[in-house]
DNA sequence: GCGAAATATTTTAGGCTTAAAATAATTGAG
DNA sequence: CTCAATTATTTTAAGCCTAAAATATTTCGC
């Protein structure tokens, strides 16, 4: 068994071993990126064609759908893993379109509370239904009995990356 | 065993079954997206900090590194899965920076050939080395003996999505 | 209380991305 | 041969995204 090799720290390996190791990890990354790009592109296209909507807008609504009492604005960039500045114009437009409201907090005037409107909730539910169906269609040819396994692997991968990001 | 349920066409299911099915596929998609976003964000940050470079620029060089005789410009958007218009300014800047050349074909003056320069190749190799090491670092906590399994699952997923995209 | 550090949000500058329209060159049907 | 359809590429308009600077407000040490 080659367990010794697997547990050798990168810094102690020679050039060839490193190259081989890098290739395996690069393959994972390229596949991951390809799958995401493929699905994301198709979802974006359909959101645009069917609803004249974008995915980032949908993502904001999806967060607010689970929060009937609204959300502190600063929660959104954390949950969506995007920068705060990015969200400003997206929220602006959702407010202008009447899908959400943005009200300053009385306790802390730096803070704003965003909340979905009735109209927003109705629109979101309609789009979410299609979104689910689109995903089902795109993933239909992947064996259903292996979904849970894949989800587990991806959860672990995500955990491992988060771990690595916290170290330094 | 609930095999009957798994193979029932979506259109024949009732509301609850559909919802459950959608949730599983949505979970896969959200994990996939989270992993990609996490890794991509960190790689982008490091490219910027260490090399003052962007990932799309690196991706173009990566394609050209494997083609010593250069590539027809129109090949790039296909391989990188981006739109053609997108590449114009990226290629422009890589040319301006001296990393690649862009020469019109003599046989068909609509076509351009892009080719890495010696300087470009040198710069690319230096960055590629770091890129591999960064990935190794980010994925270090994922068990090495499960890489191949994950690669296989992702390959299958990609194939399934491509399949679904060709149907209509 | 006062002023410095911290926090929430927006603004700015620069780059990526797409879809659709425009431009330029080639091919092919008659 | 000629002109309409096709192909390769660029341009345009609109939106997403980040990092860093700016603004506004609150908190906390003293």
pLDDT in tens, A34-67: 999 999 999 999 999 999 999 999 999 999 999 9
Question: A12 contacts in B (CB within 8 Å)?
Answer: none
Angle at B134 between CA A20 and CA A167, to 5 degrees: 125
Q: pLDDT band at B125, cuts 50/70/90?
A: very high
> How much is the pLDDT for B6?
47
> How much is the pLDDT for B18?
65
Higher pLDDT, B59 or B20: B59
Query: How many Cβ atoms from other residues are within 10 Å of residue B139's Cβ?
Result: 22
Give me the half-sphere count of Cα atoms (radius 13 Å) on the Cβ side of residue B75: 11
Question: B149 contacts in A (CB within 8 Å)?
Answer: 153
Chain A: give the shortest CA distance to residue B82, in Å.
9
Chain B: give the shortest CA distance to residue A31, in Å.
6
CATH architecture of B54-133: Orthogonal Bundle (1.10)
A157 with B139: Cβ contact below 8 A: yes
> How much is the pLDDT for B1?
47
Give the best residue of A4, A36, A63 to mutate against chain B (max B CB count within 10 A): A36
- pTM equals 0.89
Q: pLDDT band at B168, cuts 50/70/90?
A: low
Give the CA-to-C1' distance from B155 to D12 in angstroms. 37
Residue whose C-alpha is closest to residue A111's, from A89, A84, A86, A79: A84
Q: pLDDT band at A9, cuts 50/70/90?
A: low
Question: A154 contacts in B (CB within 8 Å)?
Answer: 28, 31-32, 34-35
A136 with B42: Cβ contact below 8 A: no
Residue whose C-alpha is closest to residue A43's, from A60, A25, A56, A29: A56
What's the whole-number mean pLDDT along residues A107-131?
Answer: 97
E strands present in chain A: 71-72, 100-104, 112-116
Closest-CA residue of chain A to B161: A138
Q: pLDDT band at A11, cuts 50/70/90?
A: low
> How much is the pLDDT for A165?
94
Chain B: give the shortest CA distance to residue A35, in Å.
5
Give percent of chain A with pLDDT exceeding 70: 88
Q: pLDDT band at A6, cuts 50/70/90?
A: very low
What's the whole-number mean pLDDT along residues A139-149?
Answer: 94
Q: Which two tokens stand for residue A112?
A: 């704003």
């Amino acid at each position: 068994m080659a367990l010794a090799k697997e547990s050798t720290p990168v810094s102690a390996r020679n050039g060839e071993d490193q190259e081989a190791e890098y290739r395996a990890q690069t393959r994972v990354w390229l596949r991951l990126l390809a799958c995401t790009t493929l699905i994301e592109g198709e979802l974006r296209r359909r959101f645009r064609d069917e609803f004249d909507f974008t995915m980032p807008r949908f993502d904001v609504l999806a967060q607010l759908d689970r929060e009937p009492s609204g959300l502190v604005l600063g929660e959104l960039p954390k949950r969506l893993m995007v920068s705060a500045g990015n969200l400003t114009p997206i929220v602006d437009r959702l407010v202008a379109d009447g899908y959400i409201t943005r009200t300053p907090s009385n306790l802390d005037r730096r803070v704003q509370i965003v909340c979905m409107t009735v109209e927003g909730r109705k629109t979101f539910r309609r789009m979410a239904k299609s979104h689910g169906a689109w995903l089902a269609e795109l993933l239909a040819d992947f064996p259903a009995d292996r979904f849970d396994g894949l989800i587990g692997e991806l959860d672990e991968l995500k955990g491992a990356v988060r771990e690595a990001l916290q170290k330094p």
